[in-house]
Structure formats: structure tokens, C-alpha cells
Amino acid sequence: MSAAELARDGPTLHGPELAARLERSWSRDPGLLGWLATVDHKEIGRRYLVTAFVFLALAGVLALAMRVQLARPDQNIIGAARYNEIFTMHGTTMMFLFAVPVMDAVAIYLIPLMLGTRATSFARLNAFSYYVYLAGGMLLWIAFVLNVGPDVGWFAYVPLSGPEYGVGKRADIWAQMVTFTEVAALSVAVVLTATILKQRAPGMSLDRMPLFAWAILVTSLMVIFSMPSVALASGMLLSDRLVGTQFYNPTENGDALLWQHLFWFFGHPEVYIIFLPAVGFVSEITATFCRRPVFAYPVMVMAVVAIGLLAFGLWVHHMFATGLPRVGYSFYTAASMAVAIPTGIQIFCWITTMWLGRPRFDVPFLYVVAFIVTFVIGGLTGVMVASVPLDLQLHDSYFIVAHFHYVLIGGAVFPLLGAITYWYPKVTGRLMSERLGKLSFWLLFGSFQLTFFPMHLSGMLGMPRRVYTYPAGLGLELPNFLSSIGAFIVALAFVLFIANVFLSLRRGAIAGPNPWKAGGLEWATSSPPPPYNFAHVPSVGSATPLWDGPLKWMSGLRVDEKEMLLTTVVSARPDLREPVPEPSIWPFISALALTVMFVSSIFSPWAVLFGLVPLGVALIAWFWPKQLEPTAEPVIE
Amino acid sequence: MSDAPTFERDLADVPTSAFGSRSLTWWGVIAFMAIEATGFALAIGAYFFLMAHEHSWPPEPWLPPDLLAGTLFTTLIVLSEVPNTLAKHAAEKHDLPAVRRLLIVMAVIGAVLLVLRGFEFNSLNVRWTDNAYGSVIWLLLFLHTTHIATDWADTLVLAALMHTREGEEARRFTDTSENSLYWRFVWLTWLPIYLLLYWLPRWAP
């Protein structure tokens, strides 16, 4: 068979016959083995999403437990030690097992669809990352259930987490959970970066890329340059605890502040790693529901890039209370205030888009409005605590707790819930109930303010964070009681949201490919999309191709083999045809081998050495090619 | 849908393999290099952070590492760039016999480097448990050793693969070329670490 005779899509092969043949090439084996071996980004994205929401629910239950304990003064429902574990688990789960992975989930599912490609880059690495993430989450939660959960706070400061004070295995579990989630997040970052740079549909030059893709590109680069820091820091913590290194031990001229620098060099960009995908959600939703592209696209892109860069210059503002040189205070105050500028520009661009457009106040758009209100409040308290004298007053108080919940829930969770409502019909083929959606939205928006606004007050009245109780008579009773009431209503709103998700799976209105009449490529394929995403390669001439009239296509990809198109980095001209990896069980087995190595290395350093053997075998089996290419290919220039 | 969609272009003549930034593998390797380079940069940052706490470097009464093993290692790893470049060029010319030969040379060099590295650990004159100085120089050497070992394993697998029929496949030449690119990263990152481990303790007051 020559290259010319290989089956390809095109004028002679399209429609149902093409769909059936592509389905054969792209679908995976049924059964458990096929399920574990899948490399379909949509399946992996869905698994990430479901898992992240399970962790959200678990961490949410812990939040409720804390609010019960704090509802009234001098209570002893939860003791001090258990309370330490609970707030540690809550923060750690929310940051490492919910916030970052849930953004990855949406990106893994949507980015290839938005770019008009059939798969992500490195599809097996993508599958591997999910299993590693799941193993890390299970390590943390199984340890908690076995009463060896970490109790040192989500940033695990030394010396509290070091060998002198952090006795037992609690801190080791925390540190190794970090290793798991960093491996997963870094893998996803590599996958998404390569996908966004190399797999955009022909014609989708960088200046026509959806703003969500820009946000994810910058986020992925931030992951690449920040997460090694926490992996290094937690590796050093583990080795201090396990093999007696002295990195953080001041008596041997180590330094506890080294931990804080390394942690926050990751920890501050982390905030924007969670926030920037939300910027992408908000931009996509605003454009669709205002019926026009987001105002000042180049300015929006520059703002996203500027936030990505500035985020690396702020970490020391978490350390104002440790004592710094004067010039350090000035520099980091200025940098912290500077990041408000690109963020403010974005807010004004969205408001202008609404002003110029014809907004339709459906549930996804309501979340955008709630985001703007809530995030601006959180941003303003952020500017307040960027000022050193005020920060020294408010540091480690409930004011900070209020600030970061406004920023993280207002800035990321509201847009996320809007995004889920918005893209739900793409994933499931049905729309979520608008009535139930509005009910849960208003309940959540109101109860969020009820829960977290009083924390500003309790913080200013002097209530420190992370205390398991407080005395009566200091004026803390009312704000704490209100927060506790609010927290339960927040939980009710989430239950309604999730109920809507499940009920709409069966009862929701049939969506069709483009229920919102949106402009992006993800709406050009059926809902839910077939395993190969697009039967032909879409070709685009603007940032909102579906608003330009009928879509144009390119043909000629292989039909009986999994194949996708690579394009050039800047202008997205067709460049290479690339085979897509077949499903493989080896990423799962590799993740399993890695898990055995990581978990046993908590107990013995030798596990690192012996654990490498099965891991190496699994990785070689993963990468070893399974079949020769048909002789008619490749086409060589 | 019975009507054919509008097709602008047929992509059947688009090639299926290329070298450098056109290939997906290259982007994967670059991304992992960025991750690892960040790790090295931060570990080097930690080195200077801890150095600032000491009056002398290495702290009294420890001696700087002995020079012999590390210097031999450095000489060999810099020289390894010659067969490495030859392997990269051979891959880009699809010269399978040369690729097979040179990958074996690189695998042997990797093995010798790992042995020399063992002697290096033995000549640091400090243990990781002694003080923060000892911890951080063990850390730098350990981090770099993981890279030598990873690339050595990768080279072994690739050398074996190129000796099967798979080696005739165009994409395997791309793999070989990117493996060479990664080796450049491994030896280039070694140079600053060599200075920090062996020479800065001799130059610092």
C-alpha cells in the first residue's frame, strides 16, 4: 500500500462512514483494563474533575467541623490537637488536591477542543499525571483516617514540621503528598504547554487564541517555574527528617527561613496558578453572554502575562512578620501593590465588554458578576495588607483568613462554578437546570458573604487564625456565630449545585452542539464530543470563528490510525502530522510503581533506590514502541 | 450530513517527522529542562543562602572537597560533547550505523561517569549530616547524579531500540537527536555546580 492509498478524510470520505471508521480507531477497549489504559483527554479531564470535587466535599466537611467548634466561645467539641489536624487537612486538600487539579481538569478537557485538535500532546503523560494525583490524595486522606494525618498547617513551617518538633510521620505524609501533587501538576503543565503551542488549528495564530488558552499557557509556565521550589523544599524537609540533613536546623547553621523562602516562591505564584484559569473562564463566559468579543484583547493578554511575571516577585510579602531589611519591605510592598494594576485592567475590560454588549443574565454570567464583586473586595484587602505596618497588625489573624477566602472563592470558585454550568452541556449533551442553578447561585453568593465578611471583623478584633477556641467577652461571639451559620448555608448551596449536576444528567434539556451560540471552536463539535473530537481539521480566521459564518475545514488526516496535526508556534501553519499514542496500561503501572517508591521512602531512604527498579521497568515498557509504522509512511521532506 | 464540508486544503502531503522545535518531543524535552533548571537554580540559591550564615566556607574545621575525581569527571563530561554532537548529526542525517555506534560510545561514557561520581561522593570531606554546608553540597551532587543516571538509562534503552528494526523508523532519529539535546543540558548544568562544590570553597574567604 502506498501513502496515497491510505484512508484519509476528505471529499470522498466524510459523514457517517468517516465517523464510524474514526470511532473504531479512536475508541478504547471496554472493561476495567480499557478504563485504566485510556489516554482520551476528555475521560482524564472528567476523572480529574470528579476527583477534585470529592476532595472539595471532604475538605468542606472539615470546614463545617471547624465552624461548629468555633460557633460559640470556650467550646471543646474538638480538642486542640484534632483541630490542628483539621485545619491542616482543610488547607492542604483545598490548595493541593482541589484548587490546582480542578483547574487542570477543565483545561485538560477543554483546551484540545478549543484549539480544534484531536488529543493533547503526550497523552500518556496526561493519564499518568491523573493516577499520581489520585495516589497523592489517597495517601493524605488514608493517613488522616488512620490518625497520622499532618497537623502542621498547609505551609508546614519548620521547625514545627522539622525533626525536632514534628514527631511521628505526620509531617512526612504531608511532604510526600506534596511530591505526588507536584509530579502530577508539572506533568499536566508540560502537556498543556506543548498542546497550546503546537496543536492549534490552522489559522489560530497566537493573537487569535481564546483568552482561556492564553490563561492556561501562562498558568502552565508558572507551574513549570514555581512548583520545583516546593518539591525541592519538601524534599529537603523529608531528608532533614529521615536522613539527618541540616538544611533547616539553626544549630548546624541551617535556617528555618530557607523553608519560608522556598515555600512562598512557589506559594505565591500558586495563588495566581489558581486565579488565572478563572480569568480565562470569566473571559469566555463574558464574551458569550455579552454577545461580543472581550474588549481590548491585546491588553487582556498583556495583563495575563504581566500577572504571571509579577507573581514571582511577591513571595516575601508572606514573610513581612519575620523581619526584613528596610529595602526588602519597600520592594515587596511596591511589587504586591503593582500586581493590582493588571488585575484592575482586566476588571475594567470585562466591565467595558458588558457595557458595550447585551448581557444575558443566565447562571454562568451571574457567577461572573459575583466574581467581580467578591474578587474586588478580596483584592482591596490584599492592597491593604501589602502595607507593612498594617500587615504586622493583621498577620495570622482572621482578617487574612477573610482576605484569602474572598480571593480564592470569589476569584476562582465562583468562576469555576460558572464555567461548569457553561460547559456542562458540552460535556454531557444536556443543559443544567436554570431555576435550580439560580437558586443555588443566590444562596451561595449571600451565604459566602455571611460566612467570610464577619471574619474581617473578628480578625481586626484580634482573633488569631488556627486557634481551636476563643474566650467569651472579647466581642468575638457574634462574628463567629454568623460565620458558622453562613458556612452551613454555603454547604447547602453546594449540595444544590451538585444535585443540579446529577439531576440534569437525565432531565436537562438536550443541548445540541452550541446551546449558548458561542464563538469558540469547542462548540463546533457535537455534545458530548466523539473520542476524536473533530472529524476534519477546523481552519480559523478570527478569535471567534463560529461567529464568522460556516466553518472551513482541512482534510487528509489518517482514518485507520490515530493522527493529529501539528502547526507552527506563532502563526499556526500546518507543519507535521503526528501519531497519537494508543491506550496503554503502563502509565497506570508506572504511577503505581512511583507510589510504592514514594510511600515507602517515608519509612526508609533505601526505598528510593529499590523503588527505582520497578519504576524503570514500567517506564521502559511505556516508551517502547509497540508496532512498526506501516511502510507507506512516513512522508519525509 | 450528506453534503461534504468545505475543504480548504488537503494535509496528506504534510510530513510526519521533523527535528528541533518542529517536533513535539523537542518541546517536551525543553519543558522538562526548564523544570529541572529551575530546580538547580533554586538549590544553588539555597547554597548561597546558607553560605551567608557562615564566617568561612567551608565552615571550620572542614576542608574543601578533593579535586581529583571531580576534575576528571568534569573533563570527561565536557569531552563527551564530541561524540554527543556526532550522534546528533548522524541522527539528523538518518545515518543508522553511525547512530548505533555513537549511542554505544555515549552509554560507555555514562557508565564511566557514574563510577567517577561515586569517587566524587567519597571525596567531599564532609557528610550530609555534619552541618548545613555538608547537606547542601550533597544535595547539589545528588540532584546532578539523578540527571546523569536518568540520561544514562535513557541512552541504554535508546541504543537497544536502535539495534532493532524500530531503529529504521524516522521518529526514532528525532528521539536520538532530542536525547543528545538533553545530554547538553546535563553537562552544562554541571559546570556551575562544579565551581560551587570544588572552587568556591577554595576562593571564598
Chain B, window 126-155: residues with a beta carbon less than 8 angstroms from a chain A beta carbon = 128-136, 138-139, 153
As to burial, measured by CB atoms within 10 angstroms (0-12 exposed, 13-18 middle, 19+ buried), residue B190 is buried
Kindly state the DSSP code that residue A464 receives in the 8-state scheme: B
Selection from A446, A412, A423, A409 nearest residue A504 by Cα: A423
**pLDDT at position A547:** 96
**Mutation site, B3, B135, B138, interface A, largest A CB count within 10 A:** B135
Of B1, B21, B31, the CB nearest to A193: B31
Confidence at residue A449, expressed as pLDDT on a 0 to 100 scale:
98
Q: How far apart are CA A187 and CA A121, in angstroms?
A: 11
**Buried b or exposed e, range A457-477, using 16+ CB within 10 angstroms:** bbbeeebebeebbbeeeeebb
Rounded to the nearest 10 degrees, what angle do helices B132-162 and A211-242 cross at? 120
Under an 8 A CB cutoff, do A258 and B46 touch? yes
Q: Is B8 helix (H, G, I), strand (E, B) or coil?
A: strand
- pTM as predicted: 0.96
A265 touches chain B (CB under 8 A): yes
Q: Which of A418-427, B30-39, B116-125, B167-176 has the lowest mean pLDDT?
A: B167-176
Mapped onto helix, strand or coil, the DSSP state of residue A254 is coil
Is the pLDDT at B175 greater than 60? The verdict is: yes
**Cβ atoms of A320 and A268 closer than 8 Å:** no
Q: Please report the pLDDT score of residue B168 as a whole number.
A: 85
Give the number of other CB atoms < 10 A from CB of residue A26.
18
The predicted structure's pLDDT at residue B165: 86
Comparing CB atoms, the residue among B28, B35, B131 nearest residue A253 is B131
d(CA A596, CA A308): 35
Is residue A315 within 8 A of residue A265, CB to CB? The reply is yes
Report A:223-242 residues touching B (Cβ under 8 A): 224-229, 231-232, 236, 239-240
- Residues in chain A where the model's pLDDT stays below 50: 1, 631-632
Check residue A258 and give its pLDDT: 97
Confidence of residue B3 (pLDDT cuts 50, 70, 90): low
Distances (CA, A) of A224 to A613, B37, B38, B175, B202: 27, 10, 8, 22, 34
Count of alpha carbons within 13 Å of A228, Cβ hemisphere only?
20
Do A416 and A387 touch, CB atoms closer than 8 A? no
> Is the CB of residue B60 less than 8 Å away from at least one CB of chain A?
no
Contacts of B8 in chain A (CB under 8 A): 539, 552-554
Sequence-distant (≥ 6) Cβ neighbours of residue A553 within 8 angstroms = A536, A537, A538, A539, B5, B6, B7, B8
Residue pLDDT, tens place only, A282-315: 999 999 999 999 999 999 999 999 999 999 988 9
Asked if B135's CB is within 8 angstroms of A635's CB, the reply is no
Verify whether the Cβ–Cβ distance B18 to A228 is below 8 Å: no
**Confidence at residue B1, expressed as pLDDT on a 0 to 100 scale:** 43
More confident residue, B2 or B137: B137
Does A561 lie at the interface with B, CB-CB under 8 angstroms? no
Rounded-to-integer distance, Cα A86 and Cα A99, Å:
18
Q: Which positions 285-304 of A are in contact with B (Cβ < 8 Å)?
A: none
Of chain A, the percentage scoring pLDDT greater than 90 comes to 91
CB contacts under 8 A, B 63-92 vs A, are none
Q: How many angstroms separate the CA atoms of A420 and A426, rounded?
A: 10
The pLDDT of residue B2: 47
Which residues 176-195 of B are in CB contact (within 8 Å) with A?
none
**Which residues in chain A have their CB less than 8 angstroms from residue B39's CB?**
228, 231-232
In degrees, to the nearest 5, what angle opens at C-alpha A344 toward C-alphas A343 and A347? 90
Asked if A578 reaches chain B (Cβ–Cβ under 8 Å), the answer is: yes
CB contact (8 A) between residue B138 and residue A245: yes
B58 touches chain A (CB under 8 A): no
Among candidate residues A463, A466, A491, A486, the one with its CA nearest the CA of residue A475: A463
Predicted local confidence at residue A4, as pLDDT: 62
Any idea which residue has 577554595 for its cell?
A: B202
Would strands A537-539 and A552-555 be described as parallel, antiparallel, or unpaired?
A: antiparallel
Report yes or no: A65 and A86 within 8 Å, Cβ to Cβ.
yes
How many other C-beta atoms lie within 10 A of the C-beta of residue A156? Answer: 25
| Residue A5, all three cell numbers | 492509498
